[in-house]
Amino acid sequence: MGSQTENTVTPGRPVRRPPGVITVAGLGRQTRRNCRSVTPMVSQLWRAVAVYRIVTLAYAAVWILRDESYYLHPLGGFLALAVMAVWTIVTVAAYSRPAGRNRWLIAADVAVATILIISTRWIDTAYRINHGAPTIPVIWAASAILACAVAGGPWAGMAGAVVVWFGDVIERRQFLAESMIAGLVLLLVAGGVGGYVVRLTLGAEAAVDEAARREAATAERERIARGIHDSVLQVLALVSSRGREIGGEAAELGMLAAEQESALRSLVSRDSVEPDAETGMVDVRSLVEPLSDGRVTISCPATPVMLPRAAARALSGATTAAVDNVRRHAGESARGWVLVENDGSGVRISIRDDGEGFPAGRLTAAASTGRLGVSHSIIGRIREVGGTATITSRPGRGTEVELHVPQP
Amino acid sequence: MSRSPDDQVSVLVVDDHPIWRDAAARTLTEAGFRVAGTAGSGAQALRIAAATRPDVVLLDLNLPDHPGAEVTGRLLDALPSVRVLMLSASGERQDVLDAVTAGASGYLLKSAEVRDLVDAVRATAAGHAVFTPGLAGLVLGEYRRLAQSATGLAGPATAGGSAPAGAPAPQLTERETEILRFVAKGLTYPQIAERLTVSPRTVQNHVQNTLSKLQLHNKAQLVRYALESGVD
């Protein structure tokens, strides 16, 4: 079931149709479109900066209204508040569009924040400033740093932090005081961490986009490939059957075509070998299918046959060994059949051939003389994962190996 | 193989690949069948089948316009006595299973030998089910899946989450399971008959039964689905 796709609820196969519902052409095979939200993450980050700016504007307004009576120039305080309000409107509007997020506006953003910080020196009294009164914009100034971080990543964010901090230095006329160092560290963290998160987010978004693009491309390639494979298979099947009919050299060509037909068919009908992301289980069919060729037929259910990875590996390993035995020991013209079943308690794989067979007791004899081939590669593997293996054969009536591994 | 023109089996060959279609038609004519017509698409097949009323429709699973299962269902709606033998190049399992549950009486890979194709058309015309080992494996798996979703042990395969709607899941008898497993392991009907010491005819009947039960269940589900979704 190659249309991987198809089925799988697991990526690869389409969702199984409800029982009995006959699909209209193509309905069952739509590739799942990537339905992520339309707003790119960058825009959401800018929105977050806008929210921060508006909330901190209100915060600064509360401080100014509470303290204006202590200011040296209360009017200056209101003027600064007006500038902050206007600048908030300008930047929120500008940053909402990608074209507005240019470096000049962001530089101006940092400059406005810095100048407003410095203006505290003129608006407020030296006494209050020296005793730790907040600057006029308070934490509104950090919105410029966040804008740098979102626009340019961690280094831009930290550069903005340093500029704003110098504004603080000029305003307080202190340089290496403990509070100044602490302030610098906080601003650097805001700019640096903010920028880092932005970079991670953008990386993740790009990865998701890339994955979606690849998924779409793969689905399209598979769709085209199915059509081509079908045509090629038709022609190969035709050449092989007509060739055998005509005989002679044409029969040889027919044999070649038959081999290729079988190889291509097993290639295109292969299920996903990837373990299920949630359960870590593997579809046993995917491990056994590659064994199919002109001489060996694989029969499976249409739905996945899941086993934990170790059990699936053991089972497919034992199956491979049994099929190898068919190819090597059952005789030139012998054919093999592999049946994969899910019997409710576990997974059963039967391998039968119509070859020469062997007398009862030969396997135990081989094992006791130290030739461990069959018992080790088949029985040992299966016992290791708690399963059972039986091998029955009669001369002239082929060999049958039955493997059973319980499901957890 | 000297049939009089009257009891000659008539076959409609449906395939979108002209080379294959013509080769199959020639092979069938040479083998003594009457080719009632050929068609390159599902819609064309339905038209020609209605006009020529063939005994057997040899239907390619991958037609350009409609899925094989849908064409099969509509052919059987229009001509209840027609028998549909599916052919496919790639053997997409779910497609094959859908087609036989929709009513196809058998399935063959296109790489089958000419002799097998002729035998299969003959068996289909006689009302027998044509099973490949692959189809037997699919049918076994489908019964298992139905049983699991009926007991609520819905595996990962029964996605869509649709709870077992209505009709109780069909079950295989022990004998039917045994026989299907033999078919899946490549034994022919005579070989199975020999192992079980029954007649090949009995084996054939059991195999036929496994398909009929699935098809009946599918039909019941379709009716139920139609009623539930308010289709008159």
Give a three-class secondary structure readout of chain B. CCCCHHHCCEEEEECCCHHHHHHHHHHHHHCCCEEEEEECCHHHHHHHHHHHCCCEEEEECECCCCEHHHHHHHHHHHCCCCEEEEEECCCCHHHHHHHHHCCCCEEEECCCCHHHHHHHHHHHHCCCCECCHHHHHHHHHHHHHHHHHHCCCCCCCCCCCCCCCCCCCCCCCHHHHHHHHHHHCCCCHHHHHHHHCCCHHHHHHHHHHHHHHHHHHHHHHHHHHHHHCCCC
Mean pLDDT of A63-73: 89
Question: Which residues of chain B have a CB within 8 Å of the CB of A230?
Answer: 62, 89-90
Rg (CA), chain B: 18
Q: Please, is B140 exposed, middle or buried when counting C-beta atoms within 10 Å of its C-beta (0-12, 13-18, 19+)?
A: buried
Nearest to B93 among A226, A297, A302 (CB): A302
Mean pLDDT of A35-50: 74
pLDDT digits (tens, 9 = 90+) for A373-402: 666 778 888 988 999 998 888 887 888 999
Secondary structure tally for chain A: helices H, strands E? 12, 7
Residue A163: band (very low, low, confident or very high) from pLDDT cuts 50, 70, 90: very high
Residue A269: band (very low, low, confident or very high) from pLDDT cuts 50, 70, 90: low
Q: Which residues contact A78 (CB under 8 A, 6 or more apart)?
A: A64, A68
Q: Which of A246, A137, A211, A398 has the alpha carbon at shortest distance from B186? A: A398
Q: Which of B115, B93, B68, B114 has the alpha carbon at shortest distance from A3? A: B93
Residue A234: band (very low, low, confident or very high) from pLDDT cuts 50, 70, 90: confident
Nearest to B23 among A226, A231, A242 (CB): A242
Residue B203: band (very low, low, confident or very high) from pLDDT cuts 50, 70, 90: very high
Asked if A228 reaches chain B (Cβ–Cβ under 8 Å), the answer is no
Q: Which residues contact A371 (CB under 8 A, 6 or more apart)?
A: none
Query: Residue A17: what are its φ and ψ, rounded to 5°?
Result: -75, 150
Question: Which residues of chain A have a CB within 8 Å of the CB of B168?
Answer: none
Residue B222: band (very low, low, confident or very high) from pLDDT cuts 50, 70, 90: confident
Q: Which residue of B has its CA nearest to A298?
A: B134
Q: What is the largest CA-CA distance in chain A?
A: 112
Question: Which residues of chain B have a CB within 8 Å of the CB of A229?
Answer: 89-90
Q: Which two tokens stand for residue B32?
A: 């003594």
| pLDDT for A235 | 83
Residue B118: band (very low, low, confident or very high) from pLDDT cuts 50, 70, 90: very high
- From the CA of A224, how many Å to the nearest CA of chain B? 13
- From the CA of B90, how many Å to the nearest CA of chain A? 6
**What is the C-alpha separation between B30 and B28, in angstroms, rounded?**
5
Q: Which of A223, A240, A289, A339 to mutate to test the interface with B (most CBs of B within 10 A)?
A: A339
Question: Which residues of chain A have a CB within 8 Å of the CB of B93?
Answer: 1, 269, 300-302
| pLDDT for A373 | 61
Provide, rounded to the nearest whole percent, the portion of chain A with pLDDT above 70: 84
Q: Does A23 sit within 8 Å of B67, measured CB to CB?
A: yes
**What is the C-alpha separation between A339 and B60, in angstroms, rounded?**
25
| pLDDT for A35 | 41
Mean pLDDT of A188-206: 88
Question: Which residues of chain A have a CB within 8 Å of the CB of B217?
Answer: 20
**What is the C-alpha separation between A286 and A272, in angstroms, rounded?**
6
- From the CA of A246, how many Å to the nearest CA of chain B? 11
**Residue B158: pLDDT over 90:** no
Q: Which of B132, B109, B110, B127 has the alpha carbon at shortest distance from B205? A: B127
Which of the residue ranges A21-30, A176-185, B74-83 would you say has the lowest mean pLDDT? A21-30
Residue A367: band (very low, low, confident or very high) from pLDDT cuts 50, 70, 90: low
Asked if A15 reaches chain B (Cβ–Cβ under 8 Å), the answer is yes
Which of residues A43 and A277 earns the better pLDDT score? A43
Query: Residue A273: what are its φ and ψ, rounded to 5°?
Result: -90, -5
pLDDT digits (tens, 9 = 90+) for B20-54: 898 899 999 999 999 999 999 999 999 999 999 99
Q: Which of B128, B108, B133, B116 has the alpha carbon at shortest distance from B209? A: B128
**Residue A168: pLDDT over 80:** yes
Mean pLDDT of B84-102: 87
**What is the C-alpha separation between A408 and A355, in angstroms, rounded?**
35
Other beta carbons within 10 Å of A16: 21
**Residue A117: pLDDT over 60:** yes
Mean pLDDT of B96-113: 88
Rg (CA), chain A: 37
Mean pLDDT of B52-72: 91
Nearest to B91 among A7, A226, A269 (CB): A269
Which of residues B155 and A191 earns the better pLDDT score? A191
Please give the model's pTM, rounded to 2 decimal places.
0.62
| pLDDT for A337 | 94
| pLDDT for A84 | 94
Question: Which residues of chain A have a CB within 8 Å of the CB of B131?
Answer: none
- From the CA of A335, how many Å to the nearest CA of chain B? 9
Mean pLDDT of A83-101: 92
Q: Which amino acid is at A143?
A: S
How far from A15 is each of A32, A100, A214, B146, CA to CA, in Å? Answer: 10, 44, 20, 16
Residue length of chain A: 408
| pLDDT for A7 | 36
pLDDT digits (tens, 9 = 90+) for A328-353: 877 778 889 999 998 888 999 999 99
Q: Does A341 sit within 8 Å of B144, measured CB to CB?
A: yes
Q: Which residue of A has its CA nearest to B177?
A: A343
Name the average pLDDT for chain B.
85
Question: Which range in A18-27, A287-296, B196-205 is most confidently predicted, on average pLDDT?
Answer: B196-205
pLDDT digits (tens, 9 = 90+) for B162-197: 444 556 788 899 999 999 999 999 999 999 999 999
Question: Which residues of chain A have a CB within 8 Å of the CB of B219?
Answer: 20
Distance from chain centroid for Cα A391: 43
Which of residues A202 and B119 earns the better pLDDT score? B119
Q: Which of B166, B87, B78 has the alpha carbon at shortest distance from A234? A: B87
Distance from chain centroid for Cα B131: 8
DSSP state of A293: S
Q: Which amino acid is at A146?
A: L
Query: Residue B11: what are its φ and ψ, rounded to 5°?
Result: -130, 135
Q: Which residue has the tokens 């350009």?
A: B64
Provide, rounded to the nearest whole percent, the portion of chain A with pLDDT above 90: 30
| Per-window interface: A 19-48 vs B, CB < 8 A | 19-25, 28
Residue A261: band (very low, low, confident or very high) from pLDDT cuts 50, 70, 90: confident
**What is the C-alpha separation between A193 and A190, in angstroms, rounded?**
6
Q: Which amino acid is at B161?
A: G
Question: Which alpha helices (DSSP H) does A247-334 contain, by range?
Answer: 249-268, 284-288, 309-329
**What is the C-alpha separation between A107 and A323, in angstroms, rounded?**
72
Question: Which residues of chain B have a CB within 8 Å of the CB of A400?
Answer: 185
Name the average pLDDT for chain A.
81
Mean pLDDT of A164-179: 85
